[in-house]
């Protein structure tokens, strides 16, 4: 992916946040980077989250996201159709 496209995507996602933009965006960064956190306090320990743990709750409580704008951003940056079909296989042993 082109770095300029990534920067534009991140900017557009940020602009879809209407209130508590910085806290919400820090939370998005932490979610994108941290794959082992199982709770909000654990997520707030991620190096990507540059705030105190309480701001995770404040971001979710006070933050306002323009869902339609975010949906437009996500659709606009969706990968284009691949020339070959992409096939995923579940290899877990769970029935």
**pLDDT tens readout for residues 68-81:** 999 999 989 887 77
**pLDDT tens readout for residues 36-93:** 888 887 877 777 777 776 777 888 898 999 999 999 999 898 877 767 777 778 777 7
For 58, other C-beta atoms within 10 Å of its C-beta total 14
């Amino acid at each position: 992916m082109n770095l300029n496209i990534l920067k534009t995507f991140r900017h557009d996602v940020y602009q879809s946040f209407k209130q508590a933009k910085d806290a919400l965006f820090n939370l998005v960064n932490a979610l994108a980077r941290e794959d082992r956190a199982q709770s909000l306090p654990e997520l707030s320990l991620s190096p990507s989250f540059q705030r105190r743990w309480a701001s995770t709750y404040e971001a979710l409580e006070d933050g306002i996201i323009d869902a339609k704008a975010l949906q437009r951003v996500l659709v606009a940056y969706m990968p284009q159709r691949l020339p070959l079909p992409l096939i995923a296989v579940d290899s877990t042993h769970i029935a």
